[in-house]
Amino acid sequence: MTVLKVSSLTKNFGGLAAVSNVNLEIEERELIGLIGPNGAGKTTLFNLLTGVYEPSEGKIELNVDGQMKSIGGLKPYVITGLGLARTFQNIRLFKNMTVLDNVKLAMNKSVRYSALAAVLRLPSYYREEQRILNEAMELLEVVGLAEKKQVLAKNLPYGQQRKLEIARALAAKPKILFLDEPAAGMNPQETTELTELIHQIKEQFNLTVVLIEHDMSLVMKICERIYVLDYGKCIAQGTPEAIKNNRRVIEAYLGED
């Protein structure tokens, strides 16, 4: 089942087309890679899909309850509510809050008690707070940070900050998770752990995962299909094996062995 369809998507900044006539079709529970040289338009494409930018042209459609719904130009919080969540190339955490509070804060849109219940501390307030705590701790267990729950986010090692950002994205209960260079800055051990984590959360949460990544060993190992951007245009798409042997992709990005 198609969960996300992009048709002739274009984003212009002045006279520059950062994304030009891009077409994507992503199926349920796929693990998709998005690769290309720096400046190819990959993060701009993510920003379009998640509502940070409004398309200049083209259509973005998301499967919502079995119907394809146009989401181009919707606000990011609306798109998140429809089932798309993301991490960022530059880590965006509340650095002076604890690991646990970072995840709990990401769950604020799912809170089910009223303002009156919160002010009066009614039983519904305590029940809901306990639910949020339990769910946040479950996510920290998934990413291996439960024992760091009271540590300030800024005091985590870099690789664990990346994992915390993934836990925050999962707190939105997405059906599609966008990961923007999740292995950037990681050492080989951290990259191996991240690869295992991506596989785990895809299966455990029945997710579709789309990732931008420059670590080709990671991309070729875990992605089922890959799209390649160059100068804002999609120049190839296919299986890792097909992409690895595509002459145009080799010339634009992968280079010769």
**Is pLDDT at 26 greater than 80 in this prediction?**
yes
DSSP labels, 3-51: EEEEEEEEEEETTEEEEEEEEEEEETT-EEEEE-STTSSHHHHHHHHTT
pLDDT of 253 reads 80
**Is pLDDT at 129 greater than 80 in this prediction?**
no
What is the tens place of the pLDDT at every residue in 154-201? 999 998 999 999 999 999 999 999 999 999 888 889 899 999 999 999
Report the greatest alpha carbon distance in the chain. 67
Number of neighbouring beta carbons within 10 Å of residue 56: 15
Could you tell me the residue ranges of all domains in the chain? 2-83+174-254
What is the tens place of the pLDDT at every residue in 210-228? 999 988 889 999 999 999 9
**Is pLDDT at 125 greater than 70 in this prediction?**
no
pLDDT, the chain, mean: 90
Is residue 110 very low, low, confident or very high in pLDDT (cuts 50, 70, 90)?
A: low
Among the CATH numbers 3.40.50.300, 2.60.40.10, 1.10.3720.10, 1.10.3470.10, which is that of 2-83+174-254?
A: 3.40.50.300
